[in-house]
Structure 1
């Protein structure tokens, strides 16, 4: 009986090695190659410990065989270099937390203490609270894919508008939160009193997915951020919107959809234990970040609220993760580009981007931050994550958990 062909160790290590190289030195041009390289780099970028463990186990198994081949030494060398590169990637993950802490502490010129503009919600000082906890390594290693934690109630496939396909949302709330204050925020809530406590739902976090305006679905990205807010007493909503063949062909309908969602929260929220006057924070990833910032900069603009012009669509705050913030096409450049809208009415904003993003380069975030800081009376928080690429909110990596903590500290100021 013929012996099975043995796969050389270099061939087994090569995929992880290539992913690591692309994580450290991404392809930037042409765009198609850059996109392919970004996708190939995601395993090493977001799960360096898991990839490192797999490479180490594969190499140890190959070297432990009685019969060795000359290629095993080559493969072992590749494995050692790959693990060293993954160590650099992990170090960049760990660098995110101090960068985010510093961004939350720093104030733009002219900013004073943060004032929450709704009576009864209190004020926040210019000094950010200390980080809530350090990296939870057991979670990073054993449960990288975020699932709804115990005590979080999930209601999926809800409809907020006339199109049952485009206007869908998933709603996550703390199972023990009651509108009359009968319950607290449940097991998992913060011990420092930042949970819902006796006040029911504290606020609403809306997350808008990315996908180049043409693809995507609720609860695809930023799941850990959604679940964290729900656990702490927020109503966390992940919503989709009208998708289109090109970004411009769907404008302004995708923006109208999110404003319609705000209308739904105000009108229908009380039937889902959400107070009609709850503060609303809109966040987004990639294309969703563009919609989030446009929502923040066009509050109460009747052009984007057809049929519900009377609804107050002012936000308490907005958050953008690795967003695209440019125009959506030449025909709509004067209205679809966020920087073409006055910053004077912008709410507090937090923008977070990766320094190595090749899909939506960081220069777009810098451009928007300059525009906001030049004209907004409210805080503009900005952080660039060292070595982060596009799509860093898929799994519970050390970097993304630091982002989740930072966003929570930011939004808590406005609840």
Structure 2
């Protein structure tokens, strides 16, 4: 039993070290990410498991030899690191407030995220009370291709209040995996409770799909939305877009390539603009290495499965797939969210994108850097996820209010501080 306690202690320390100092070595990247993702965003659950494991080992004689005492010391250090991760998560509200998200907007109609979901994370898979989900609605059909979406709408007494703001959710998964049933659920449920209509959209995946087919599919949704949004209670003239990872990249592309004919073949005259964008931990530049050892476009994933062109021979193909190359003055407002401990997409990727976007856009560009946050942190309904979800809803509600009032969000010269850092910025 002393060696069992030692094993528990070693595991606790390794999880803590990986959480606070993410591994970026190629061989450790994927396992390090999953371990950090679980141990950071489920830190309270991990702490309970660590304490229970050490307590059980001690109760059955784990301290009868030096390995047990060493294991207890290591376990205590690991538990302390887990508590530190929890403390970093608790600063989420401070980060959101300092970066300019209007958390006090209409506080009387902002119910907190349900505590039950924080205790039992799988509950987020079940629609919340007051939310109706209509699944597998076909929004684009061509020959054998049938693209589907799920719609999240207010239910019950909240249904008859006129046309509502719409939100498009784009799932991630490195452009090759993922599904509408897996991501964005916490946000879409919360938005529906607050009176929004959410659309969780699927698109073709690589290697079957070749860029820019992913983006074209999402533009097809925008065409469908203009025609059918009112049938689901949504305003055809107001839509914001969000998504994480590859979905964050696609979110930025959707927001910045409005009405670009190349990405909407056959429906070039359709308005594909959106009124706001909230990309989570996305990739924004496939050409410049920056925080990457090599450019993202030069990876085997992009060359063999997604874009399917040799990077060094056709760099222009990767430039055309990079949101940073579509920056413009009339870009919609952005709220860019990234975790400081992201081991898959370095946080510097978000910082440099925000800096470039602010140099060009006349709309607000708000940047929220989640201290201690890993890649995909919002998949689990953790404390950090709950506060970010609430913050995103407050931010987008502010944009919708301005839309109804006929005003456009703007910033004054000199309002944007340097990146990185917290941002103080108001929507006017």
Q: Which range, TM-score by smaller chain?
A: 0.7 to 0.9
Q: How does 1:298-309 map to 2 (within 5 A)?
A: 298-309=257-268
How far off its partner does 1:93 sit?
0.3
Aligned equivalent of 1:389: 374
1:99 matches 2:95: yes
CA 304–66 in structure 1, closer or farther in 2 if over 3 Å, else same: closer
Find the partner of 1:173 among 127, 142, 153.
153
Aligned equivalent of 2:20: 24
Find the partner of 1:208 among 170, 173, 194.
170
Decide whether the 8 Å contact of 1:16 with 1:51 is kept in 2.
no
Aligned residue-pair number: 369
Cα distance in 1 for partners of 2:62, 2:27 equals 43
Q: How far does the alpha carbon of each residue in 1:107-142 deviate from its partner, in whole angstroms, 9 at most, with x for none?
A: xxxxxxxxxxxxxxxxxxx99638757786554224
Cα distance in 2 for partners of 1:403, 1:304 equals 31
Select the structure that is richer in helix: 2
Decide whether the 8 Å contact of 2:147 with 2:203 is kept in 1.
yes
Q: Secondary structure at the match of 1:60?
A: helix
How far off its partner does 1:41 sit?
1.8
Find the partner of 1:259 among 205, 210, 219.
219
Q: Secondary structure at the match of 1:154?
A: strand
Aligned equivalent of 1:241: 203
Cα distance in 2 for partners of 1:166, 1:355 equals 38
Cα distance in 2 for partners of 1:165, 1:211 equals 20
Find the partner of 1:322 among 236, 261, 281.
281
1:401 matches 2:381: no
Cα distance in 2 for partners of 1:220, 1:344 equals 34
Q: Secondary structure at the match of 1:300?
A: coil
Decide whether the 8 Å contact of 2:242 with 2:277 is kept in 1.
yes
Find the partner of 1:291 among 250, 268, 274.
250
CA 261–32 in structure 1, closer or farther in 2 if over 3 Å, else same: farther
Aligned equivalent of 2:105: 129
Q: How far does the alpha carbon of each residue in 1:192-211 deviate from its partner, in whole angstroms, 9 at most, with x for none?
A: xxxxxx63342111111111
TM-score, normalised to structure 2's length?
0.80
Aligned equivalent of 2:7: 11
Cα distance in 2 for partners of 1:333, 1:68 equals 58
Aligned equivalent of 1:189: none
Q: Secondary structure at the match of 2:141?
A: coil
Q: How does 1:73-222 map to 2 (within 5 A)?
A: 73-104=69-100, 129=105, 132=110, 139-143=117-121, 145-146=123-124, 147-162=126-141, 167-176=147-156, 183-184=157-158, 199-222=161-184
5+ long unaligned stretches in structure 1: 106-125, 177-182, 186-197
Q: Secondary structure at the match of 2:272?
A: coil
Q: Secondary structure at the match of 1:336?
A: coil
RMSD over aligned Cα atoms? 2.4
Cα distance in 2 for partners of 1:337, 1:204 equals 25
Decide whether the 8 Å contact of 1:300 with 1:312 is kept in 2.
yes
Q: Secondary structure at the match of 2:69?
A: helix
Aligned equivalent of 2:404: none
How far off its partner does 1:162 sit?
1.9
Cα distance in 2 for partners of 1:77, 1:137 equals 32
Cα distance in 2 for partners of 1:133, 1:148 equals 16
How far off its partner does 1:236 sit?
0.8
Q: Secondary structure at the match of 1:45?
A: helix
How far off its partner does 1:184 sit?
2.5
Decide whether the 8 Å contact of 1:297 with 1:345 is kept in 2.
no
Cα distance in 2 for partners of 1:135, 1:218 equals 21
Find the partner of 2:335 among 331, 350, 367.
350
Cα distance in 2 for partners of 1:19, 1:312 equals 48
Q: Secondary structure at the match of 1:161?
A: strand
CA 227–133 in structure 1, closer or farther in 2 if over 3 Å, else same: closer
Aligned equivalent of 2:41: 46
Aligned equivalent of 1:108: none
Decide whether the 8 Å contact of 2:244 with 2:282 is kept in 1.
yes
CA 135–7 in structure 1, closer or farther in 2 if over 3 Å, else same: farther
Q: Secondary structure at the match of 1:290?
A: helix
CA 282–135 in structure 1, closer or farther in 2 if over 3 Å, else same: closer
Cα distance in 2 for partners of 1:69, 1:301 equals 71
How far off its partner does 1:292 sit?
0.8
5+ long unaligned stretches in structure 2: 287-296, 298-310, 401-428
